[in-house]
Amino acid sequence: MKNKFAVIAAILLLALFPRVARAQVPTVKITMVDAIQAGKITVDGSYTLPAKWTLVKIRIDARPTKATKGEGKSDFATIDAKKLTFTKTLTPVPTGTYDIQAVISANDPTGALRLFYSDTVADIGVK
């Protein structure tokens, strides 16, 4: 009976205060992807970092879609800690179609390393 009460109470708290529950972990969001120049993909984005979390790095991944052969490209972004933004130009990137994703690495308040992923920006064509 006590367990049922605890579960119901937790569900009610999450329903009443969803923003508080979600704000307790870092977030990462891609705000712009530019593949106009041949062989390059430029990615800009923003992130949030709750109190007592420590940012380690942000990695940008360009994964080939099923139609593109190859291994893709990954590299670490340049971070502006004051604006909570990041940017990275991946180069050289072979001609093809890629899915782009950002990954934030952060230490939680206990010091454990955790990873959080942005939504994927799909089907970015590179000339």
Q: Is residue 90 part of a domain?
A: yes
Q: Distance between CA 98 and CA 65 in Å, rounded?
A: 5
Specify the number of domains making up the chain.
Answer: 1
DSSP 109: T
111 half-sphere exposure, CB direction, 13 A CA radius = 0
Q: Is residue 51 part of a domain?
A: yes
Structure confidence by residue, pLDDT tens digits, 91-103: 999 889 999 999 9
Contact 121, 72 (CB under 8 A): no
Q: Is residue 8 part of a domain?
A: no
Q: What is the CATH number of the domain that holds 38?
A: 2.60.40.10
Q: Is residue 18 part of a domain?
A: no
Report pTM.
Answer: 0.78
Q: Is residue 14 part of a domain?
A: no
Structure confidence by residue, pLDDT tens digits, 62-109: 999 976 677 789 999 999 999 999 999 999 998 899 999 999 999 999
Residues 6+ apart with CB under 8 A from 28: 45, 46, 47, 58, 102, 103, 104, 116, 117, 118
* Domain carrying residue 83: 25-126
